[in-house]
Chains A and B, each alone.
Chain A
Amino acid sequence: MVGDDAVIEGATGSWEVVIGLEVHAQVISDAKLFSGAATAFGAEPNTQVSFIDAAMPGTLPVINEACVAQAVRTGLGLNAEINRYSVFDRKNYFYPDLPPNYQISQYAQPVVGPGMVRVDLEDGSVREVGIERLHLEQDAGKSLHDRRPDATCVDLNRAGVALMEIVSRPDLRGVGEAGAYIRKLRAILRYLGTCDGNMEQGSLRCDVNVSVRRPGAPLGTRCEIKNVNSVRFVQQAIDYEARRQIDILEGGGEIEQETRLFDADRGVTRSMRRKEEAHDYRYFPDPDLLPLELSDAYIDAIRAGLPELPDQKKVRFVEQLGLSEYDAGVLVAEKEVADYFERVADGREAKTASNWVTGELFGKLNESGREITDSPVSPDDLGDLIDLVADGTLSGRLAKEVFDAMFESGRPPGEIVEERGLEQVSDRGEIEALVDTVVGENADKVEEYRAGKDKLFGFFVGQVMKASQGRANPKVVNDILRQKLD
């Protein structure tokens, strides 16, 4: 199944958009990949820099095992082969934010080999996207061009932080799939706790490979768009780039393989360097580091500690909790949502919990532009609210009113119900009195009903509820009305 946006109609016919993504995911770890310096985001410039990160003479890198474990964990989460033997290479190029003027990366022998991600598409279908490899490498520092009028400053806090480069196969078609893939990959990383997935802070960055071809034709020449830092920008970049390539091809031109930059302000891609200008990185095995050798026991131990991942969770929600595929998919898409839901559903009817979370809660969160992690309603309070409905204290309609008040104030449901006197009335005597009044005031309607106009029953229920200001237990009202009328 291919998304609607996978094919673009050009002037001379249809073109298929083929996309591969290289995602750079910053590893969650206390220390950098080859030094003991800290990795926290947002620290004062150059306060998290070791002698190694600054490439002082005579300093040597030593692999941080925690980063290796994170890469292996991620590889397992991507259903990928873990290579027992991998090698760190030097990628040589000069740039001031790269102090040794080489980046330690993995070239021919990465730590993680082929894998696969299941991407849920909007139409409910699932697409399997191949992962080619995952390798560990160092991040660079940052050049700061705006600090001084006469010079560029360099902040090395990020220099040497561990990155996982996750390379997909060119299996994606269209912007919808590309976006869904990034979101799914991000969710898996966050479930695994190996990357916080924060695109705004640059913890997750994408290079996008785009080519176009006539449906069924061999792959076209691709262009690589560097450093695109949000799902929306990725989609804009692909859309622009695909149309640019189609225009060239339809004009009789040829696509040149090149590296391009995405200009987010103008929504266009610009040539950065052509193939003949491509760097010769002179990769060679880093002689300061030994090859990375992993034992089966090491990998098995990490495997045993893997959390439940979104695909597994979804299956469980459907098969064990009886949720629909759709609801389950929505609930597992973000780890925080799944966690919230599971807390609400704990000991309660799952379908009800799901309805509250995906209905009322999502609605209010959307309205107020909040994330579930800043929800004023805690999962425990929402659970209590559901309990109040289940035990008959609140009617469904009033429960929604109470929920709105909870969302406004952040207060627990019990307090609100008590303060506003919203408890449901189930006392038969009290309700019978209301029924008698309604029946007495509507003698003509009673006649009509008894003559066979069945649907008037709803009218009576409505009148009784109105008389009770909505607090009467509808079940009891029904019950008593049937007694009185039938």
Chain B
Amino acid sequence: MAELTRLTIAEARDRLRGREFSARELAQAHNLAVEKARPLNAIVLETADRALDMAEVSDKRIANGEEGVLEGIPLAVKDLFCTDGVRATAGSRILGNFVPPYESTVTANLWNAGAVMLGKANMDEFAMGSSNETSCFGPVENPWRLPGNGSPIVPGGSSGGSASIVAARAALGATGTDTGGSVRQPASFTGLVGLKPTYGRCSRWGIIAFASSLDQAGPLTRTVRDAAIMLTAMSGYDPKDSTSADVPVPDFEAALGGDIKGLRVGIPDEYRTDELPAEIAALWQQGLRWLEDAGAETRDVRLPHTKYALPAYYIVAPAEASSNLARYDGVRYGLRVKGEDLVDMYERTRAEGFGPEVTRRVMIGTYVLSEGYYDAYYLQAQKVRTLVARDFENAFEHVDVLLTPTAPSEAFAVGDKSDDPIAMYLNDVFTVPASMAGLPAISVPAGLSKSGLPLGLQLIGKAFDEETVLRTADVLESAAGFEAEPEPWWEMTQ
């Protein structure tokens, strides 16, 4: 049965339809793999029984020829998505044992398409982090380790549990959310494909908010094709989210396989920083050649405001978060720590409920919105955001897609950067600009570092042009031929 967990979504889908195995068998194999992967700390709530129940329904639908595009496909769900009747924590103590009586639109779309839920994936607290070390459930481990070295490596964040469980071959795919790189950076760190769609492509209804103007759901998968399949199911206009876009959802899988002759690929000069490790710069160069070999034209483009994007992001996102997280006050649900009076209850509840990174961002956000500082910080950051978006618009007058590294480093050791917030924030330097502009972007595994850890390359596209992004990613994926897998050390530890 072990080989069932090594399939891609596309393969599993085709073989389920061919009745080579049942959805129940597929779910059982994954339940077992999830159980074995417990040392990774990637799943904070296993829903094995639910998975079997859903798989049985899938088997009936397949038998009746009524299967959806993800019928019987076992997925993990980042614990930021509310799923009806299943505890949702956002990786935070403050939600306690909160069980939402409603379903996020994205997961509802997935279940309607036939997907099967394996469990809720660990994550940085409220999606704030780039290493999955801020979770109240403790850090997630990357299935990848340095060869000959047993010390734990981070999977990236904030969708670290989602990335880890898919990379460990214990889920065929997972939902993540990406605010400043939280799908793409973990994908790069774990050798997966991670796609952040255009802002508005997926509904935010039922996803616990971090920074509303940036949050987007996205898939973490082992192949570009799988990402396309999942995105097709996840997307769609939702009247319950005013910022969701009322645009048609194409069959993204159908966009794959086309050739990219004449495709104009831009290389943003500003991403060539002095700090960029040589091997990442070389891989980037390699990616460029692969696309050229496939017939694309590459050209240099300028995104002059890039260097301001990260600092502006770390104003806008905390500002929104400080307000979004105000609702966790101990009054209606989640943790309540009694106090001497109302304000004391608020303070004790929030002090105990939020971890240090969330506290830091709530304080930063509160500060930048305060009277006297608003203009200098928040308003200025919004202006920068406009300029960053305009940079991309200008670039996309000359090119169809941009190629950049996903992250400025390979995955690092647990504990390496957790005491240095700035070093941690710098991890998002290549992913944040596309987030600020609301553009679709994907990380594709492109090679291994000298030390043997995965590295990803990022493609950024025009708004609502995920098709070009995916088509190009598909070509890049084929050329890179990334086949490496982590050694399943976690199976030995039990």
Contacts and interface: CB of A to CB of B under 8 A. Distances in A.
Contact of A288 (B100, B102, B212): B212
Interface in B290-327: 319-320, 322-323, 326-327
Contact of B326 (A59, A61, A94, A289): A94
Interface stretch (B163-171, B235-243, B401-409): B235-243
B370 A57 contact: no
B206 interface: yes
A198 B342 CA distance: 32
Contact of A284 (B90, B208, B378): B378
A473 to B, nearest CB: 72
Contact of A62 (B81, B88, B240, B326): B240
Name, among B81, B370, B371, the residue most crowded by chain A CB atoms within 10 Å (CB to CB).
B371
A280 B333 CA distance: 26
B366 A287 contact: no
- What 5 pairs across the A-B complex have the smallest Cβ distances? A101-B326, A287-B212, A282-B369, A287-B213, A55-B327
Contact of A56 (B100, B242, B331): B100
A100 interface: yes
Interface in B56-76: none
A55 to B, nearest CB: 4
A290 B199 CA distance: 13
A173 B109 CA distance: 60
A282 B239 contact: no
A65 to B, nearest CB: 12
Given A100-B327, A282-B369, A59 B205 contact: yes
A58 B326 contact: no
B450 to A, nearest CB: 42
A15 interface: no
20 contacts: A54-B332, A55-B332, A56-B100, A57-B82, A58-B104, A60-B240, A92-B322, A92-B323, A94-B346, A99-B327, A99-B331, A100-B327, A101-B326, A102-B323, A282-B322, A282-B370, A283-B369, A284-B378, A287-B212, A288-B243
A99 B342 CA distance: 14
Contacts of A121: none
B100 A58 contact: yes
Interface in B321-378: 322-323, 326-327, 329, 331-333, 342-343, 346, 366, 369-371, 374, 378
B271 interface: no
A86 to B, nearest CB: 14
Given A56-B100, A58-B100, A102-B323, A290 B82 contact: no
A429 B319 CA distance: 96
A163 to B, nearest CB: 20
A85 interface: no
A58 B205 contact: yes
A51 interface: yes
Nearest to A284: B369
A63 interface: yes
Contacts of A60: 204-205, 240-242
A55 B332 CA distance: 9
A63 B242 contact: yes
B376 to A, nearest CB: 14
B157 to A, nearest CB: 19
A94 B329 contact: yes
Interface string A38-61: 000000000000010011111111
A58 B81 CA distance: 8
A102 to B, nearest CB: 5
B94 to A, nearest CB: 10
A282 B240 contact: no
Given A54-B332, A94-B329, A287-B212, A62 B239 contact: yes
Nearest to B94: A57
A233 to B, nearest CB: 28
Contacts of B95: 57
A284 B209 contact: no
Contacts of A102: 323, 326
A51 B332 CA distance: 11
Interface of B: 81-82, 88, 90, 95, 98, 100-102, 104, 204-209, 211-213, 239-243, 319-320, 322-323, 326-327, 329, 331-333, 342-343, 346, 366, 369-371, 374, 378
Nearest to B238: A60
A287 to B, nearest CB: 4
A57 B204 CA distance: 11
Interface string A255-296: 000000000000000000000000010111001111000000
Nearest to B95: A57
Given A101-B326, A101-B327, A288 B242 contact: yes
A284 B213 CA distance: 12
B242 A61 contact: yes
Contacts of B369: 92, 282-284
B159 to A, nearest CB: 16
A371 B420 CA distance: 71
A23 B209 CA distance: 33
A473 B239 CA distance: 73
Contacts of A90: 323
B222 to A, nearest CB: 28
A154 interface: yes
Contacts of B102: 51, 56, 58-59
Contact of B211 (A54, A63, A287): A287
B128 to A, nearest CB: 15
A154 B331 contact: yes
Contacts of B88: 57-58
A114 interface: no
A113 interface: no
A414 interface: no
B331 A96 contact: yes
B93 to A, nearest CB: 14
Contacts of A54: 332
Nearest to A101: B326
Contacts of B378: 284
Contacts of A56: 100, 102, 333
A216 B59 CA distance: 85
Given A60-B242, A287-B320, A99 B212 contact: no
B207 A58 contact: yes
B330 to A, nearest CB: 10
A282 B368 CA distance: 9
A157 to B, nearest CB: 15
